[in-house]
Amino acid sequence: MVEKITLNLITCRSIQQGVGMEAGKTSKKYFDACSIIEMHEDDMKNLGILKNTNVRVTSATGSVVVKAVTTRQELVPGLAHIPMGPWANRIVSAYTYSTGEPCFKGFPVEVEPAPSEQILSAVDVVKDACGLLKK
């Protein structure tokens, strides 16, 4: 067991994310669909966490708290997925290699257990970064 692990992160659409988006960005459906990180079971074991534990995910760009889950869209160990949305985008680099296209897939992140930390709502996770969240 280790305190944190380094994983390769991708961000993609999921049907739940799509449904959630149409239900509304402030809906529970959207929150449940997007404020998660899908991990391989081996990586969870390695980190000593159970499914549905909150974790802190940190990249060179930033850091965000999401819930670790497993998925039936199998990942290989070492690969993790956060559905596209404001949580994922807290840690996506804006560097575009002059293509206009940010680095949404394939960047290293550190994942550590954060069972006592809270997941911010979709709007708050953006406001927080912009310094607009009233504490």
Partner 1 sequence: MPKVVTDVTCPFCGTLCDDLEITVSDDNKKILSVKNACAIGAEKFNHTKEPGRVTHPRMRQPDGTFKEISYDEAIDFTARMLVKSRKTLMYGWASTSCQAMSIGHEIAEKVGGIVDNCATVCHGSSLIAIQDVGIPSCTLGEIKNRADRVIFWGCNPAHAHPRHMSRYSIFPRGFFTVKGHKGRKIYCVDCRHTDTARVADTFIQVQQGYDYELLNAFRTAARGGPLPDEIGGVPKEKVYEVVEELKTGRFGVIFFGMGLTHTLGRNHNIDIAISFTRDMNEFTKFNIIAMRGHWNVTGSGQVLSWQYGFPYAVDLSRLDKARYQTGETTSVDLLTRNEVEACFYIATDPGAHFPIAAMISSSKKPTVTIDPHINCTTEISDVHIPVAMVGVETGGCAYRMDNVPIETRKVVDPPEGLLTDEEVLTRILNRVNQLMEEA
Q: Which stretch binds partner 1 (CB under 8 A): 46-54, 108-116, 127-135?
A: 127-135
The residue to which tokens 């819930």 are assigned = 67
Does residue number 61 form part of the binding site for partner 1 (CB under 8 A)?
yes
Residue 115 Cα distances to 51, 56, 59, 107, angstroms: 11, 9, 19, 24
17: closest CA among 88, 80, 109? 88
Segment interacting with partner 1 (CB under 8 A) among 49-57, 99-107, 109-117: 99-107
Q: Does 97 help bind partner 1 (rule: CB under 8 A)?
A: yes
Q: How far is the CB of 63 from partner 1 (least distance, A)?
A: 11
What is the closest distance, in whole angstroms, from the C-beta atom of residue 28 to partner 1 in the complex?
Answer: 12
Strands 63-69 and 5-10, sheet pairing: unpaired
Q: How far apart are CA 129 and CA 64, in angstroms?
A: 10
77 makes contact with partner 1 (CB under 8 A):
no
The terminus-to-terminus CA distance of the chain in angstroms comes to 35
Q: What residues make contact with partner 1 under the rule CB under 8 A?
A: 8, 10-15, 18-19, 21-26, 61-62, 72-76, 79, 81, 84-86, 89-94, 96-106, 122-123, 126-127, 129-132, 134
